[in-house]
Structure 1
């Protein structure tokens, strides 16, 4: 039996053992149509699990401290209930441990959940997946911003420039009404702008220069709407994907769209892709910065490094998208 099958088999057997306990790290500002706490308790009881440990995030701690507490109390799975920011903070504490992450999507983007086919509109299904789904190991990407000593992580993508501006300028009221389509509105409004001289080093190699509107690092490929921004990026291949966008002239964004449709193939430099294990990026001036869809201020320098197979995560049973995982079989 393969090690992958052994890991999955052990997870599935343990999921039905009595006395196991889940911890739920939840963002209480996320509004839902159902009583999430009551639903989690009901599903846990039905699956033979103990009453869950309930930990709410706070304004000054979006999930790190709660995830640490869950580990200290010996939770068998830690469920991140919220948006991508909550998921990222919880994952940062679970990476490198043997405690798996479960996803209960309550945000707008829910980027990781969408990539892994975790139900985004079925909270009961997501809870059942967190308790008894199949288990895989995925990569995380460590990011040092400017001169920071400690790194942060992302699971889906991080960006410097236009994509971060779009995230930061999204109308909150509109997002509450129409969901991820609000990002389209922000994207259109921020199309005008000047490129910035940017230096990039791939795997410690000689830096090269580009004039860019955006540079992004990706751990997997899909964003909202099913758009595949990083073609060929797999979340468990030990590789980081870098994409640059360099529109030129009045019709420059048409060249970017064409480059995205061609998946970076061809002679044009409006969109370029690179694969690596680490990358360093310097911009001439501070640029807006985002990770996993959350606008996090501005930065001039990013250092990115892949940590392969660092995070155990629960996802639905069944064949997976071969664009996301190296082994699509259940």
Structure 2
């Protein structure tokens, strides 16, 4: 900070339902003052507004940084507003998955490090993916992944009480309960090319590759390459899900159609019967149509200093 200039100020958009929110508030205020920033502006999400309105208010206040304190849903909602602006995003992970934070090496269980990385860390520009559901005029954005079918059913069926007790293992419970089911005939178009058809349990779009447990479901995905990853999941027969797992382990290197990968800048997915839909872990209910397109390097984001895994970021220098 230059002599005579006002200190920088951050806004924190936080989800008050998270148990650590109040402790984080005291810690964040302390660290901001310690690092020469002004006392942060605190904006609480509500049942009706999961972060977009608070992020707009933060921009209107002219803050220098917006921190999203919550899970992947809070991060997504704040990013919808910050994408395309010059105001960077910092992550203070409070959720169960925290998938974007995991991909960026931001401390999941170290709130002090997360706050300091948001205030003083290196800055990158990453892609966001716009998604329109059932031809809606307004789009959402996602930073990690979105899906239609099995994965969305799992997200919608995960028990909140179990997440509080066992964390991400609650998704395993929901996954096992949703294994039975029938594939849906789905039409897919990549970059506007001629559509092709698949009978699938799930179609997913990904912006980065890693999920909990270090599993990489979109091999080679990068957050800043301007490309979208598409994965289809089509188990067949009694051992079909074993073939899916094998395909994930092989990272798509094989001829088994249980897992297929495509890379593109835009995609259109049409299910012939309604399927569950999720965006960055938030279930949206059922629908039949998804339109996805990448907005390259449109979100400024803070993260720890140091060289990043090239499977996450292609640009390793600021």
Q: What are the within-5 Å matches in structure 2 for residues 39-188 of structure 1?
A: 39-188=27-176
Pick aligned residue for 1:207 from 185, 195, 204: 195
1:209 shift after superposition: 0.3
2:222 counterpart SS class:
coil
Pick aligned residue for 1:234 from 216, 222, 243: 222
**Would you identify which runs of 4 or more consecutive aligned residues in structure 1 move more than 3 Å?**
none
Contact 1:143 1:151 in 2 (8 A): yes
1:328 shift after superposition: 3.5
Contact 1:320 1:329 in 2 (8 A): no
Q: What are the within-5 Å matches in structure 2 for residues 292-307 of structure 1?
A: 292-307=280-295
Match in the other structure for 1:327: 315
> Partners in 2 of 1:310 and 1:322 — Cα distance?
19
> Partners in 1 of 2:315 and 2:298 — Cα distance?
17
Match in the other structure for 2:180: 192
> Partners in 2 of 1:279 and 1:306 — Cα distance?
9
How many correspondences in the alignment?
Answer: 316
> Partners in 2 of 1:273 and 1:76 — Cα distance?
39
1:296 shift after superposition: 1.5
Contact 2:154 2:174 in 1 (8 A): yes
1:18 shift after superposition: 5.5
1:273 shift after superposition: 0.1
Q: What are the within-5 Å matches in structure 2 for residues 249-268 of structure 1?
A: 249-268=237-256
> Partners in 1 of 2:9 and 2:22 — Cα distance?
22
Contact 2:105 2:304 in 1 (8 A): yes
> Partners in 2 of 1:151 and 1:323 — Cα distance?
27
2:224 counterpart SS class:
coil
Pick aligned residue for 2:269 from 281, 292, 315: 281
Residues 12-44 of structure 1, C-alpha deviations (whole Å, 9 max, x = no match): x89xx8510000000101111861211111000
RMSD between aligned residues = 1.3
Match in the other structure for 1:37: 25
1:188 shift after superposition: 1.0
TM-score (norm. length: structure 1):
0.94
Contact 1:18 1:48 in 2 (8 A): no
Contact 1:21 1:77 in 2 (8 A): yes
1:329 shift after superposition: 5.0
